[in-house]
Chains A and B, each alone.
Chain A
Amino acid sequence: TQLLEQSPQFLSIQEGENLTVYCNSSSVFSSLQWYRQEPGEGPVLLVTVVTGGEVKKLKRLTFQFGDARKDSSLHITAAQPGDTGLYLCAGDGGSNYKLTFGKGTLLTVNP
């Protein structure tokens, strides 16, 4: 069974601060995705990383896939209240077309 562990589980910061959240596994994934979920809504895909060591940027968000494709990180620069939400990572093991989801990091950015 593939598992993805996300840390921290909860994070509360002030507007303008930087933060990093992590997604770790002992399993190798063919790709890894990050989603953001706001209250009362479904998760929305932010990015997919595929190659070991890959770095992708989405405005103030930087996503990195580990060299061994077992872990990933999400760094947010100068966080804003609009970044508040539940951040989920999900891995595609490649063999059965299902995703394994982490339990998420609940981020609160205070004005």
Chain B
Amino acid sequence: DADVTQTPRNRITKTGKRIMLECSQTKGHDRMYWYRQDPGLGLRLIYYSFDVKDINKGEISDGYSVSRQAQAKFSLSLESAIPNQTALYFCATSDTGTYNEQFFGPGTRLTVL
């Protein structure tokens, strides 16, 4: 079984809809991250969490919110989706004291029409 899982893998939605992307991990890592990947722009950090009570904004947090429900679960929400949020979304985890080496999920391809 995969160590970091994401659901759904693909989603098509309409402008204005609320969307939740979910991430679960079995690696036992404290740190979890949400990135989006766009052609030509690379991976950009949306939010990160170092433990259940710690949530931090990344470089592009506007229009997004997150919830860390447990050590193993980190969800990303788009409150009112817009077309420029069409992208590949990745969840990642890392362990404390390991040079921040990251383990990525398989990604969610989100299309906002």
Q: Are B101 and A101 interface neighbours, CB within 8 A?
A: no
Q: Which of B41, B43, B99, B107 sits near A88, CB closer than 8 Å?
A: B43
**Chain A 29-67 per-residue mask, 1 if CB under 8 angstroms from chain B, else 0:** 011010100001111110010100000000000000000
Residues of B within 8 A of A88 (CB): 42-43
Q: Are A45 and B40 interface neighbours, CB within 8 A?
A: no
Q: Are B101 and A33 interface neighbours, CB within 8 A?
A: yes
Q: Which of A50, A101, A102, A103 sits near B40, CB closer than 8 Å?
A: A103
Chain B residue at minimal CB-CB distance from A102: B42
* Interface window among A18-26, A68-76, A77-85, A92-100: A92-100
Cα distance A42–B104 when bound, in Å? 5
Residues of B within 8 A of A42 (CB): 4, 90, 92, 104-107
Q: Are A98 and B42 interface neighbours, CB within 8 A?
A: no
> What residues make up the interface of A, taking CB atoms closer than 8 Å to B?
30-31, 33, 35, 40-45, 48, 50, 88, 90, 92, 97-99, 101-104
